[in-house]
Amino acid sequence: MCLGVPAKIIEVTSPFLGRAEVAGVTRGVGLQLIEDPQVGDWVLIHAGYAIHRMDEDQARETIGLLEELREKL
């Protein structure tokens, strides 16, 4: 099963690299697949790469669903 996790870009260090935060954890991410990534953008992270830009409401809803799933496990 593949899982993408919503995260907020907190730093763009080069045209292809940046840092993103989700649930208080920051990590480096590849930004090659996102057109014109900006600090504050919400993106879907999979295998260390931002693969899709999403709006904040969609990101927060997805994070909520992932938290619900975690509580049930």
Amino acid at 45: I
Q: How confident is the model at residue 72 (pLDDT cuts 50, 70, 90)?
A: confident
Q: By the 8 A CB rule, do 6 and 34 touch?
A: no
d(CA 56, CA 70): 21
Q: How many domains does the chain have?
A: 1
Confidence check: pLDDT of 50 > 80: yes
Q: Given a cut of 70, is residue 1 above it in pLDDT? A: no
Supply the CATH number for residue 61's domain.
Answer: 2.30.30.140
Query: 45: domain range?
Result: 5-72
Q: What is the pLDDT of residues 13-42, one digit of tens each?
A: 998 999 999 889 999 999 999 999 999 999
